[in-house]
Amino acid sequence: MTPIELSPQLFALLFGTGFFAGFVDSIAGGGGLISLPILMSTGMPPQMALGTNKLQGSFGTFIAACNYTSKGEVEPKKTLVGIFFTLIGALAGAWAIQRLDPWFLTYIIPLLLVGVFVYTLFSRDLGKVTTRARLSLNLFFVFFGLGLGFYDGFFGPGTGNFWMTGFMVVMGFSMTRAAGFTRIMNLVSNVVALTMFVVGQNVIYSVGITMALGQILGARLGSGLAIKKGAGFIRPVFLVVVFFTIVRLVYLNYSTLL
């Protein structure tokens, strides 16, 4: 395992990064856009950066999920089917990524996220109020849990964006409620991925725990603001996160074609 000495400056950088990533992720997802580049910049190998990122991010997701649940935005009993199928999907995805090349997703996902961005941008009432569901919640969890759980275990970027959009468009959830349920589902697939990295000894605990301290505070503050201010606060953050996720994926995956 690669040793990293935590100087006061590096500690402050990692803590601050964790705080900001936790704040953003608890509202709209996409915290990895902030934390992963910083981890990579420390010089640790990519697999350790990914594993350490899952460790610190899991703390923030857990705190945000607890906060949304305690404020009544999520009913734990209603998430059990989703947890089960997301767990199965994530395990299958984590198994598949070790045997298959995800090249096709690297080109398709940015285009799907463009669709999410455009749809949300022009659907100004999306998530402002609860609307009629188009599926039963359990049936929704079967399809989306298996599909997005697999995707998160297999590839990952934009998973939270897809969950939130699914909850709002298919289930008619308000944006705040969608954010809460999304944190629960993200936590499941994060823990599955983290377990894989821990088994592979690809986690630097000193760095992960340092960032987790910031994550806990950021996630608590961000989820609290999201619950208090609702869709008017979440929507612009969600759009910004989706936009920068698209930009990052396009840069990483399409730049080699130019």
User: Is 116 exposed, middle or buried (CB count within 10 Å of its CB: 0-12, 13-18, 19+)?
Assistant: buried
pLDDT mean over 84-96: 93
- Checking if the pLDDT of 3 tops 70, the result is no
Contacts of 104 (CB under 8 A, 6+ apart): none
Contacts of 175 (CB under 8 A, 6+ apart): 126, 127, 128, 164, 168, 230, 231, 234, 235, 238
Contact between residue 34 and residue 21 where contact means Cβ atoms under 8 Å apart: yes
Mean pLDDT of the chain: 91
Contact between residue 165 and residue 119 where contact means Cβ atoms under 8 Å apart: yes
Share of the chain above pLDDT 70, in %: 97
Q: Give the pLDDT of residue 95.
A: 87
Q: Which two tokens stand for residue 166?
A: 């699914």
pLDDT mean over 115-121: 94
Local structure of residue 155 (DSSP, 8 states): T
- Checking if the pLDDT of 68 tops 70, the result is yes
Q: Which of 53-57, 106-110, 220-224 has the lowest mean pLDDT?
A: 106-110
Task: Report residue 101's pLDDT band, with 50, 70 and 90 as the boundaries.
Answer: confident
Q: Give the pLDDT of residue 146.
A: 97
pLDDT mean over 228-255: 91
User: Is 11 exposed, middle or buried (CB count within 10 Å of its CB: 0-12, 13-18, 19+)?
Assistant: middle
DSSP structure string for 72-119: TS--GGGGHHHHHHHHHHHHHHHHHHTTS-THHHHHHHHHHHHHHHHH
Contacts of 200 (CB under 8 A, 6+ apart): 47, 51
pLDDT mean over 128-156: 93
**Total residue length of the chain:** 258
- Domain spans in the chain, listed from the N-terminal domain onward: 8-257
